[in-house]
Amino acid sequence: MFPFEEKVLAGIGRSLLAKDQTIAIAESVTTGLIQAAIGSTTDAMKFYQGGITVYNIAQKFKHLGVEPIHADKCDAVSAKVAAEMAIGVSILFGSHWGIGITGFASPVPESDNKLFAYYAIAFNQTIISDRMIRPKTGPTEEIQALYVNTVLADLRKQIASQ
């Protein structure tokens, strides 16, 4: 099974429960793996509102309000798109917290064969953390695992600071 950071997940769950806060997740590059991680946490039904995996620009616009002209120019991979996904998913599911992540986990011509992802974390529809992740080369599954665990570690830190 996927190598989730169990201690990090447990900390996220405990913190959200203690603060009576909720979370929703929008993904593309991680193909639902962050949703699976959060959903596997003890008592997830008490804080996890839901998630969406969207690959193309039309779906990112339709469900999350991602601005399509900008998204088209960058193949829907940018800090702005990740931020719009994070805010959009928190609106869609009515959650306190939202995560948005988009990027490339395998070499493709659209990214000049480079691997990278952008993610954003929103709290009350305001971006409080956004970063670019630049992994070294490796199998797609390992790159996705790195993305997931990086986002979850930052989420845990952000929840603790609010």
User: pLDDT of 9-61, one tens digit each?
Assistant: 999 999 999 999 999 999 999 999 999 999 999 999 999 999 999 999 999 99
User: Which residues span the domain enclosing 150?
Assistant: 6-161
Residue-wise pLDDT for 89-113, tens only, equals: 999 999 999 999 999 999 998 899 9
Residue 1 placed within a domain: no
Q: SS3 of 130, please?
A: strand
Which is nearest to 22 in space by CA: 52, 48, 50, 51? 48
3-state helix, strand, coil in the chain (%, to 5): 50, 20, 30
CATH of the domain at 37: 3.90.950.20
The structural domain count of the chain equals 1
The answer to whether 82 and 101 have CB atoms below 8 angstroms apart is: yes
Maximum alpha-carbon separation in the chain? 45
